[in-house]
Amino acid sequence: MSVPAWFARNVFRLQEAAMRRPTLSLLDALERTQWLSRDGMLDYQTGHLNVLLQTALAHSPWHAARLHAAGLADAVRAGAVLPSDLSRLPTMDKRDARDHAEQLVWRGVPGGVFPYTTGGSSGEPLIFHFGRARQAADAAGRLRARRWWGVQPGEREVYLWGAPVELSKTDRIKTLRDRLVNQLLLNAFEMSPACMDDYLEAIQTWGPKAIYGYASSLALLAAHAEARGIRPRLPALRVVSTTGEPLFPHQRELIERVFGVPVSVEYGARDAGLMALQSPDGALLQMSETHLIEVLDAAGNPAEEGEAVITSLVSAAQPFIRYRTGDVVRRSGRTDPGGRGLAVLDAVVGRQTDFIVAADGRIMHALAVIYVLRAVPGVGQFKLIQHAIDQIEVQVVPDARWNDAAREAVVRGLRARLGATLAVDFRLLDAIAPEASGKHRYVVSHVPLRGALAQAGS
């Protein structure tokens, strides 16, 4: 069941008003501010940064102590802090957010404060708090980006998401609500072959203008479609948007080949919020109105490639100020080809656990071992877990071509990259379970990293 787009937009408008979220008014504002000049955007950010710092000084004792220690309290009160002044503050990390939660949260924030939990894919989950402004900013930023691709609010979308739909009364109501705003939710927790057959049929019947989901789950669905010889007929589809994890080049190629439209990357995190989205020009555009993003090396100095350290300008409920995300990104000196005043990231290189460590101490991106498995006939699906610097577990869902030669090719390729003494333990499975978040991660490493990555996600 779908409804006219105008009806879905009105239902969404009523829902946001009932939840006291200023999503649509913020969307209108973002449509204007994206065209600010660089100087105009800097002025915008400076004004909102000072409002955030004033809120933190008044309502978050932990941040207030740090602002006083850095000698910034008077400048905060005067509204005279510049984004460049943030470097006077030490960074904060997940442990700080976890250990000082009650000294960070402003429970009287207008609209209320709501607890949320990160997926915990890179370590212990973090319980943090957000307010209506953060919710609205994420939703409005995503709606703006959809418009870049020609998808208007209320038009049909598919979500392949890690949110199981039970048969409880509450979930039946949520399913009805999703349909009334033209969203079809498919469960990324259930990716068996039979489920994926059903998903492909549901997507074709729904006829979406956009598909949105975890990069790994969408790649898995696309691989399943190709293995079945299915090429979905989706004449209305404009874009497939991936989120939740880095998109590897082979995944992009596969998804675009199967669904016949470009893939747009979304970069965000549950704690840090929505930070960047890819435009049709290929630029990964920052949410400059809501986030300041610093790229720092291991010593905490600005770098072209390093850890993304963010200040969320919409995090008044629990301020994230110079927050270490654990993500490695590469800065870009380019401007938006579309003429917007939004800053551009060159790439999101990966998360802490997207890197593995060779026997000689070299830190290598997950692609180094992913390419080994992809090149071996007989490997249907796979996951690698590095338990120690000289021990790796290889989980494989084999197809009919799997044999001893395939096993030896995997061992040979992994030892060539990680060291000749590497112990390779195989587990042949019927299916590989997703992470608790619903994501299907190819590589997980439990080996401590050095340098900038060692401090990420602590």
Pairing mode, strands 210-214 and 157-161: parallel
Question: Does a structural domain hold residue 387?
Answer: yes
CA gap 155, 5 in Å, rounded? 5
**In Å, what is the CA distance from 54 to each residue of 22, 77, 81?**
22, 6, 10
> How do residues 190-243 score in pLDDT, each as one tens digit?
777 888 899 999 999 999 999 999 888 898 899 899 989 999 999 999 999 999
Say how many C-beta atoms besides its own lie within 10 A of residue 339's C-beta: 9
**Which residue range is the domain that position 386 belongs to?**
367-441
Residue 87 lies in a domain: no
Strands annotated E in 231-378? 239-243, 263-269, 273-278, 284-286, 291-296, 305-312, 323-331, 344-351, 355-357, 363-365
Whether residue 425 is contained in a domain is answered as: yes
- 8 A C-beta contact, residue 416 and residue 392: no
Between CA 320 and CA 325 the distance in angstroms is 10
Write the burial class of residue 128 (CB in 10 Å: 0-12 exposed, 13-18 middle, 19+ buried).
Answer: buried
Task: Output the DSSP codes for 304-329.
Answer: SEEEEEEEETT-TTS---SEEEEEEE
Look at residue 375 in the predicted model and tell me its pLDDT: 82
User: Does a structural domain hold residue 412?
Assistant: yes
- Taking a C-beta distance cutoff of 8 angstroms, is the pair 322, 294 a contact? yes
CATH at 396: 3.30.300.30
Cβ–Cβ under 8 Å, residues 212 and 138: no
Report the C-alpha gap between 13 and 154 in whole angstroms: 10
Question: Which pLDDT belongs to residue 164?
Answer: 45
Collapsing DSSP states into helix, strand and coil, what is residue 229? coil
Q: Are 289 and 283 in contact (CB under 8 A)?
A: no
C-alpha–C-alpha distance, residues 390 and 384, integer Å: 13
Closest by CA to 229, choosing from 256, 197, 195, 261, is: 197
Task: For residue 180, give Cα distances in angstroms to 150, 152, 166.
Answer: 21, 15, 19
- How many domains is the chain built from? 1
Beta carbons of 363 and 352 less than 8 angstroms apart:
no
The reply to whether 446 falls in a domain is no
Q: What CA–CA distances, in Å, run from 323 to 95, 293, 319, 360, 444?
A: 11, 9, 9, 31, 23
In a domain, 420, yes or no: yes
Which pLDDT tens digit goes with each residue over 261-310?
Answer: 999 999 998 899 999 999 999 999 999 999 999 999 888 999 999 999 99
> Which letter does DSSP use for residue 302 in this model?
B
At 346, list the tokens. Answer: 């060159």
In a domain, 432, yes or no: yes
Q: What is the pTM of this model?
A: 0.79
- Considering the domain boundaries, does residue 247 fall inside one? no
Residue 88, pLDDT score:
97
* Alpha-carbon span 191 to 199, nearest angstrom: 9
Q: Which two tokens stand for residue 197?
A: 């057959």
Residue 37: what pLDDT?
96
Q: Which residue positions in the chain have pLDDT lower than 70?
A: 118-125, 162-172, 189, 350-355, 363, 365, 367, 435-440, 449-458
